Structure 1
Amino acid sequence: MNPDAYRPSPIGDVDCTATGDRWTLVFTRDLRHPPRKVWAALTDPDQLAAWAPYTAGRDLGTPGAVTLTMIDDEKPQDLPAEVTRAEPPTLLEYTLGDDILRWELTATGSGTRLALHHTVQARDWLPKVAAGWHLCLDVAEHLLDGDPIPPIRGMAATEFGWSELNDQYARKFDIPNTGLPEQPRDEDTAS
């Protein structure tokens, strides 16, 4: 597929819940592939690099410490992470900085139901996170289908419908749309 021809899929099956003083996005998507194939896309560093917003310093299929590198334009950021649960091919849970990601894979008659539970600090991040995962999972589906397109991440995501998805998810969650995540200014990051 020509990446310029990419258009986001329709808004996804999402929900959000309060989790103590934090918020959890639940993003569910049905995939046409068996759980083992989806598991590999979630854990193998080479496959993650092809669709996720980060790369992994090792395979995520076993518990333990790992470095996940967020790819945001020209300034990759290493984040400490910990795989807390890995039960192939049904459950993967790890931290990403202060966030918690839990991937649940359930075999269906035609493939896999993927449920991502992403816990964040602030409620206004839910639409942003949903829009980002929406694009990433679209790219992952292309990868799984054998029709890969380049990853959509960082500020480049705005060229592929991120802003519209953010707005749609904000309306769905009845959360004011606060726009793009704040980016550090150069003077804030200078030494």
Structure 2
Amino acid sequence: MNPHSDSLAPDEEGEHSVLRMERRLAHPPAKVWAAITQPAHLAQWFPSEVTLELRPGGEMGFHFPGDDGPGMTGEVTDAEEPRLFAFSWGDDHLRWEIAPEGPDGRGSLLTLVHTFGDRFGAPSFAAGWQLCISALGQFLDGGQAEVSRDAGELHEAYLEQFDLGHGAVTEGGIRFERQLVRPADAVWAELCAGEEPLEGDTAPDGFLADGVSAGPITSVTSPTSLTYAVHPKGEVRWELARGTGYGARLVLTQTGPFGSAADTGEALAAWHARIERLAGQLLEG
């Protein structure tokens, strides 16, 4: 399995992201079809328990073990044995294609096309599917399928591969969004380094980037947000919101007047370096 062949691109309308993953399996399409459509087989490698009616328009249910909630629902959109199985899962859509592989057709090329709205969640989705499809291969081989948990290295490798670490220029300044691999309280502890920030204080060094002179903290809600003034007449805001299952979703913004395009570029570079350093510290921790 070669994760480097995986790709992320916008859909035709530019409103969703499309993750495409291909894997070669040493098993015929009929066997792979059973493994991706029968609930008892799905239970061995898929990330949730599944109930389904295997027909276009059939209902699907998804329930994570240990989750007391009602679970998520979906609908089968395609069921063409043994080559195509597709369905919605909440707001996402998953398409599984199976093609014969090899001169005798005893192998299969399995292609997953996952369409979703959360572009910055793509590294989490790709890492999760990589681990699940590895478990699928173990199951097909007759072994004990184990869906291992990524400690963050695979997630960060996909984030780099998909080039999702850079910020963007907005109407009011610059903005970064990044899925992190640790929960908000762990990120907050890393940023604060033992200091408890209070309104009116100067922001701890962890919240700064090279070239940014921090003014007083104007608002703080531990462990999810901190805003401080910067010269001239701007502010920096750190927000740690709920993200994918890996950890917190960081949204960092700096607003206010930048003197020139070069100044904006310098700010983008400085914050990119700061966030990369934070991501590395969280991974090590």
TM-score bucket (shorter structure): 0.7 to 0.9
The equivalent of 2:18 in structure 1 is 24
The equivalent of 2:49 in structure 1 is 55
The equivalent of 2:180 in structure 1 is 179
The structural deviation recorded for 1:91 is 0.8
Mark the CA change 1:162 to 1:91 in structure 2 (over 3 Å): closer, same or farther: farther
| Residues 1:165 and 2:154 are matched in the alignment | yes
The equivalent of 1:88 in structure 2 is 81
The structural deviation recorded for 1:74 is 2.3
TM-score by length of 2: 0.54
The equivalent of 1:100 in structure 2 is 93
Question: How far, CA to CA, are the matches of 2:76 and 2:118 in structure 1?
Answer: 22
Kindly provide the CA deviation profile for residues 7-52 of structure 1, in whole angstroms up to 9, marking residues without a partner as x. Answer: xx66352011101200010011111111111111110000001100
Question: How far, CA to CA, are the matches of 1:53 and 1:47 in structure 2?
Answer: 12
| Residues 1:113 and 2:112 are matched in the alignment | no
What letter corresponds to residue 66 of structure 1 in structure 2? Answer: E
Q: Is the 8 A contact 1:53 1:70 kept in 2?
A: no
1:33 to 24, 27, 30: 27
| Residues 1:75 and 2:67 are matched in the alignment | yes
3-state SS, counterpart of residue 64 of structure 1: coil
Q: Which structure has the greater CA radius of gyration?
A: 2
Question: How far, CA to CA, are the matches of 1:117 and 1:98 in structure 2?
Answer: 14
The structural deviation recorded for 1:75 is 1.4
Structure 2 residues not aligned, in runs of 5+:
166-177, 182-242, 246-285
Question: How far, CA to CA, are the matches of 1:57 and 1:182 in structure 2?
Answer: 23
Percent identical among aligned pairs is 33
The structural deviation recorded for 1:182 is 4.5
3-state SS, counterpart of residue 147 of structure 1: coil
> 1 or 2 for the larger relative contact order (CA 8 Å, sep ≥6)?
1
Kindly provide the CA deviation profile for residues 139-171 of structure 1, in whole angstroms up to 9, marking residues without a partner as x. Answer: 11000000123344xxxx2xxx35111111111
Q: Is the 8 A contact 1:57 1:67 kept in 2?
A: yes
Matched residue count:
166
Q: Is the 8 A contact 1:12 1:27 kept in 2?
A: no
The structural deviation recorded for 1:63 is 1.8
| Residues 1:15 and 2:13 are matched in the alignment | no
Q: Is the 8 A contact 2:179 2:244 kept in 1?
A: no
3-state SS, counterpart of residue 74 of structure 1: coil
Mark the CA change 1:182 to 1:127 in structure 2 (over 3 Å): closer, same or farther: closer
Runs of 4+ in 1 over 4 A off after TM superposition: none
The structural deviation recorded for 1:178 is 1.4
